């Protein structure tokens, strides 16, 4: 029987890795992404879920991967774009879970996997970034909230064999600027960025370990261990 998964954000640095991992695990993946679907629009979320229901598909995996940020080189500020970032990274993720969990309950199993970040656990170190640029606090707030979202979903729906986890990472070297990498890695005990192999291993564990529930797996080379 075909296994189904939903992935928000199929592009970017991690989206293609999640697609590859899900394919290796035997899942047919349904991608929610721009321009066809926008997480800020309730009607798009409902239309997406409706198309799955019309096809008789109840996905047992939801990966909340879609996220926005304001990287160096943009006009980002510490307080900038707060509502917009939270609307996509947190509110949109929550609404996707709300739409898909009833189908998981019907199937008798399910897992909501939230893609977090070290920035959900620490404040951004301004010394790692270019002068006069600040990491938007909205990104950090959204990633911290996903940890609580995983706890709450697990407590609320665990009785239906539906669980949730957050997997959070330090920087993955997909073209990281050399200056940022030099500064950041000085504070990583293992001295290297996160590898694609580690990213895939974390996803496999989140999916395949049936008692992994309501928790966060932090893969950061030891950065937050200081």
CATH fold of 3-225 reads Rossmann fold (3.40.50)
User: In this structure, are residues 215 and 158 in contact, taking their beta carbons and an 8 Å threshold?
Assistant: no
Give pLDDT, residue 130.
84
**Whole-number Å distance between alpha carbons of 17 and 196:** 8
Q: What pLDDT was estimated at residue 104?
A: 98
For 173-189, write each residue's pLDDT tens digit: 877 788 888 999 999 99
The pTM (predicted TM-score) of the whole model is 0.94
Q: Which residues of the chain have pLDDT under 50?
A: none
Length of the chain: 226
Q: What is the pLDDT of residue 74?
A: 66
pLDDT at residue number 129? 87
In 10 A of CB 211, how many CB atoms? 6
Find out whether the peptide bond into 202 is cis, omega within 30 degrees of 0. Answer: no
**CA 122 to CA 59: how far, in whole Å?**
33
**Amino acid 194: pLDDT:** 94
Domain boundaries, given as residue ranges, for the chain: 3-225
Q: What is the tens place of the pLDDT at every residue in 20-35?
A: 999 999 999 999 999 9
Q: What is the pLDDT of residue 166?
A: 98
Per-residue pLDDT at 77 = 84
53-to-30, 100, 167, 217 alpha-carbon distances in Å: 12, 10, 28, 31
């Amino acid at each position: 029987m075909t296994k189904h998964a939903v992935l928000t954000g199929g592009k970017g640095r991690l989206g293609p890795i999640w697609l590859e991992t899900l394919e290796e695990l035997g899942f047919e993946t349904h991608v929610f992404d721009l321009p066809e679907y926008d997480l800020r629009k309730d009607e798009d979320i409902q239309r997406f879920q409706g198309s799955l229901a019309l096809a008789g598909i109840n996905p047992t995996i939801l990966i909340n991967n879609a996220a926005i940020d304001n990287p160096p080189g943009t006009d980002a500020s510490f307080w900038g774009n707060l509502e917009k970032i939270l609307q996509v990274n947190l509110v949109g993720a929550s609404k996707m879970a709300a739409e898909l969990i009833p189908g998981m309950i019907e199937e008798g199993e399910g897992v909501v996997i939230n893609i977090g970040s070290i920035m959900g656990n620490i404040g951004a170190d301004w010394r790692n970034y270019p002068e006069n640029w600040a990491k938007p606090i909205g990104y950090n707030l959204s990633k911290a909230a996903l940890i609580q979202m995983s706890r709450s979903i697990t407590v609320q729906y665990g009785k239906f064999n539906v669980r949730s986890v957050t997997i959070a990472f330090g920087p993955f070297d997909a073209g990281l600027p050399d200056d940022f990498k030099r500064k950041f890695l000085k504070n990583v005990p293992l001295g290297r960025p996160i590898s694609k192999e580690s990213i895939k291993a974390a996803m496999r564990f989140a999916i395949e370990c049936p008692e992994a529930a309501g928790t966060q797996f932090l893969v950061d080379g030891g950065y937050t261990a200081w």
